[in-house]
Amino acid sequence: MKPIRVLIVDDHAMVRKGLVTFLKNQPELELIGEACDGQEAIDACEQNHPDVILMDLVMPELGGVAATKTIHQRWPHVQVIALTSFQERELVRDALQAGAIGYLLKNVSGEELAEAIRQAHSGRPILAPEAVQALIQTPSEIESLAASLTRREHEVLALLAKGMSNPEIAGQLFISRATVKAHISNILSKLGVASRAEAISLAIQNKLVR
């Protein structure tokens, strides 16, 4: 197995130093670069082609949310994990809507971070409990969201929450991949989210799926 190529983006040198030390002790992970702001992160993607980015969100010049959005648009295969000290609902939403697959706080343990990188590389979202809590809706909001989904959209959402890909969902429900894609687009629109990761998190935490 090839090591997972990781890029570190943070404006604090001491944070980067700690992450570098951590990565060097993980044989399945490979540090391929560091950046101190969002623009440097974009440039590093262009030059070094990382698999996963550990992205701080609050930085001078170009922040992490804007950088994540650009990277997600240009290189959709690159997975971004927001790694920050902030857990405000708006910031969590902004990061996920920009395309981040994960949202972790900087107090995460080394073991948890390594597992998050592996999960992100496999396309599986991972969120800190504090981030999940920030996304929980009020009961009235949940009732409204649940009522807006059709029976088929509920089925697709449930399979998404199980980690199934579009082809797997199509096979499970005996529908075309194009139909699955259309259902997912409708689900994202109705739930007011911009990514599968956010839709799955919202659905599980607010019990829209079993």
Alpha helical stretches, state H, the chain: 13-24, 38-48, 64-74, 89-98, 110-121, 129-135, 139-148, 151-161, 166-173, 177-191, 196-205
pLDDT at position 198 is: 80
142 and 180 both lie in a single domain: yes
User: Which CATH number does the domain housing residue 86 bear?
Assistant: 3.40.50.2300
Distance between CA atoms of 93 and 97, rounded to whole angstroms?
A: 6
- Cβ contacts of 43 within 8 Å, gap of 6 or more: 35
pLDDT at position 163 is: 86
**Residue 210 forms part of a structural domain:** no
pLDDT at position 128 is: 86
148 and 130 both lie in a single domain: no
pTM of the model: 0.67
pLDDT at position 114 is: 93
Lowest-confidence region among 62-66, 89-93, 97-101: 89-93
Per-residue pLDDT reduced to its tens digit, 129-173: 878 776 665 556 667 777 888 999 999 999 998 889 999 999 999
pLDDT at position 97 is: 86
Tell me the longest C-alpha to C-alpha distance in the chain.
52
Count the domains in the chain.
2
pLDDT at position 75 is: 95
Identify the domain containing residue 21 by its residue range.
Answer: 4-134
